[in-house]
Structure 1
Amino acid sequence: MDDATARQLLVRVARGDEAAFERLYRAHSRRVYAYVLNLLKDPSRAEEVLVDAMHEVWRSAERFRGDAKFSTWLLGIARNKALLAYRSRRADEDHDDIDDLSETLAAEDDANGFAQLAQKQRREGVRQCMGKLTEEHRECLHLVFFEGYSIEDVAALQSVPENTVKTRLFHARQKMRNCLRLLLEREA
């Protein structure tokens, strides 16, 4: 959904139009959920934050000033709700899903089993390295590379200058590169 359409729907939401709200929800909920899940690493808490964020959109639609894109404003709300959730209950460390691991190990009998296991280990390595980044670095990296946001949008979302976002991205990439290099050396 483009920004102009989202803004038009938001005006209708401010007047209590449930159908407009439903369209906004359908258009943006997956992206917000993915973003919050990346921050919290907990699907049920991410779902709660999504609901809280969308409820906030419903309650405060008339306060949207239009300084940023609707999606940036929405992710800002979601980010604040996620930070509140994180502070109220510290996130537990990610644990591998035993069922997924057992399926992968069982697949070793297949010709692709070892390739699947190697791919899973690489993904886990990236996840580990992302977990070692600061919250600011991880969020910048996720928004730019996984969500496709521009540096300008990330700066608006995080309420920092664009050069700060660029610096965070530089350091995040550098830390990821070093961390992944160490993991690869250990595997070799």
Structure 2
Amino acid sequence: MLAYAGGDLLAFETLYRRHRGTLYRFLLRSLRHRADADELFQESWSRLVAARERYRPEAKFTTWLLQIAHNLVVDRFRRQRPQASPEETETVLRSLDAPESEQPERALSEFEQRRRLQLALEELPEEQRIAFLLRVEGGLGLEEIGEITGAGRETVKSRLRYALARIRARFQA
């Protein structure tokens, strides 16, 4: 990011290639509507471009990028909380991860597991879902999640613990 801020346009391409998947998955699972995720994906990169000269490497780049995305998600929820049906979520997940030439029963089992996880995520309160996605999708630590969400370390731990307990309960049901 420092190279890009200094004018190296190839550095932006590297950043984009490395982080686009993590950013998009976070947005898609946070918002549940592909159109909203697409919009905020573009907006996140636009904000990154606009803020490149103000970037300071005080945290990991991923933390900074996901902070931008999280703020956009929060703004979107404040304006209007989107709701996706399980069928819409299923369609999006299927289009993202369509198995190629696997055995049909294995593909169905993996699809069912992904669907159950998505449904479990949809049932989580927003704070727990965001913390869980930042941890699992973003690979962030407690402090980094706290920086992004504005919550303390212990609050983040609690949110993750409750999210995991709810997801486990959903899978056991």
Residue 35 of structure 1 corresponds to 26
Structure 2 gaps of 5+ residues are 95-102
Residue number in structure 1 paired with 2:71: 80
Q: Give the whole-Å Cα distance in 1 for the aligned partners of 2:18 and 2:117.
A: 29
Q: Please name the residue that 1:59 is paired with.
A: 50
CA distance in 2, matches of 1:27, 1:123: 24
Unaligned runs of 5+ in 1: 1-5, 101-111, 183-188
Rate the CA distance shift 1:85–1:23 in 2: closer, same or farther, 3 A. Answer: same
CA RMSD in angstroms, aligned pairs only? 2.5
SS at match of 2:84: coil
Contact 1:9 1:24 (C-alpha < 8 Å) held by counterparts: no
**8 Å contact 1:155–1:165 — kept in the other structure?**
yes
Name the SS for the 1:77 alignment partner: helix
Shift of 1:28: 1.9
Whole-Å Cα distance in 1 between the matches of residues 24 and 118 of structure 2? 18
What is the total number of aligned residue pairs between the two structures? 162
What do residues 50-72 of structure 1 show as CA deviations (whole Å, max 9, x unaligned)? 11111111112222243322221
2: distance between equivalents of 1:20 and 1:116?
38
Partner of 2:124: 133
Aligned residues of 1:68 and 1:156 also touching (Cα < 8 A)? no
Structure possessing the higher relative contact order (Cα contacts under 8 Å, 6 or more residues apart): 2
* TM-score (norm: length of structure 1): 0.74
Q: Is the 8 A contact 2:66 2:148 kept in 1?
A: yes
Determine which of 121, 146, 152 is the counterpart of 2:143. Answer: 152
Among 9, 12, 20, which residue is 2:6 paired with?
A: 12
Deviation digits for residues 50-104 of structure 1, max 9, x if unmatched? 111111111122222433222211110111112223444432323233xx6xxxx
TM-superposed CA distance for 1:114, in Å, is: 4.3
| TM-score, structure 2 as length reference | 0.79
